[in-house]
Amino acid sequence: MQALVTTTCAVRRRAGGGSLATTVEVPMDQVVPGDVVKLAAGDLVPADLLLLASKDLMVAQAALTGESLPVAKADTPTRAGDAARRDGSGDPAEADNLVLTGTSVTYGTATGVVVATGADTYLGSMAGAMAGERPPTDFDHGVRRVSLLLIRFMLVMVPVAFVVNGVTEGDWDFAVAVAVGLTPEMLPMVASANLARGAVAMSRRKVVVKRLNAIQDLGAMDLLCTDKTGTLTEDRIVLDRYLGVHGEEDPEVLE
C-alpha cells in the first residue's frame, strides 16, 4: 500500500536539458540537494530548505521542537538568528530562514533551495542519535552482578567439590550436581514474573509499560521531572501545590 501512495512536491527543474526551468511534481524521495522547491499551505517539507523567498510563511514544527503553535519563517533572518547560524551555534529549528524535514506549511507560500536530504537532515541526525543502543538500567546491572557472583561461586565450588569428593569418596559426579545446583535456572522466570506483576499493577493506574525493565526504575524513583512541550496538553497552566525543599507548602515559593 505504501508503494501505491506517493507524496510529491513542486520542484523547479530544467526538463530535457533545456535552458528554461519549469515546475514539476516529483516524489519527495527524489529531491536532491540544489533543487529549488516551492511550498504552499498544506505541503510537507521534503528536505532541509534554505528559504529564497517567502510570503506570510507559517510552519508547524511540533515534531521537532514540541511547539504546539506554528512558527513564522522568512527568507530574511533576524540579526540574532543570522549570527547564530554563522558561528554554528544555536538550534537549526530556531533559524528564521530554514525549514526542516518533518515540518509542514500551515499558511503562506515560500521558495527554498535544498541543502540536505535523508540522513543528512536535522531530523535524520535526531533519528540517528535515537537509534543507538539503550543504556543498561539499574535492573540490568543488578541481574548482571548476581549472575557474576554465582559464576564465581561455580568457578570455586565445582573444582573443590570435584577434587574432594573424587579423592575421598570416589564420586566424581557430585561436582556436576553442585554446578547444576548453583546455576540460576529460575532467575529469568522469577525476574520476569515480578516485572510482569508490576506492569499489571501499573496498568490498573492507566500506565502502559512497554519495556518490563522500566518497572524497577519506576519503583526506585523518588522524583520524576518531565518537560512540558505543549503538544499533548491543553495549553492551560494550573497551580496545584507550592512546596519547599522539604515537601511542605511554602508561601515564599508561591510569591
Question: With helix as H, strand as E and coil as C, how does the chain read?
Answer: CCCCCCCEEEEEEEHHHCCCEEEEEEEHHHCCCCCEEEECCCCECCCEEEEEEEEEEEEECHHHHCCCCCEEECCCCCHHHHHHHHCCCCCHHHCCCEECCCCEEEEEEEEEEEEECHHHCHHHHHHHHHCCCCCCCHHHHHHHHHHHHHHHHHHHHHHHHHHHHHHHCCCCCHHHHHHHHHCCCCHHHHHHHHHHHHHHHHHCCCCCCCCCCHHHHHHCCCCCCCCCCCCCCCCCCCCCCCECCCCCECHHHHC
Considering the domain architecture, whether residues 18 and 125 belong to the same structural domain is answered as: yes
51 shares a domain with 143: no
pLDDT in tens, 205-217: 888 888 888 888 8
Domain boundary at 130, 164, 188, which? 130
Same domain? For 107 and 166 the reply is no
Residue 241 forms part of a structural domain? no
**Residue where a domain stops, chosen among 130, 156, 188:** 130
The whole-chain average pLDDT of the chain stands at: 81
Inside any domain, residue 113: yes
Full-prediction pTM beyond 0.75?
no
122 shares its domain with 35: yes
**Quick one: average pLDDT of 150-170?**
78
> Is residue 118 situated within a structural domain?
yes
Domain count, the chain: 2
Give me the CATH number covering residue 86. 2.70.150.10
For residues 118 and 143, membership in a common domain is answered with no
**Does the residue 106 lie in any domain?**
yes
Mean pLDDT of 189-197: 86
> Given 109, 130, 151, which residue is the final one in a domain?
130
Quote the pLDDT of residue 232: 59
Asked whether residue 246 is domain-assigned, the answer is no
In terms of residue numbers, what domain contains 89? 8-130
Active site residues: 227
Per-residue pLDDT, 237: 75
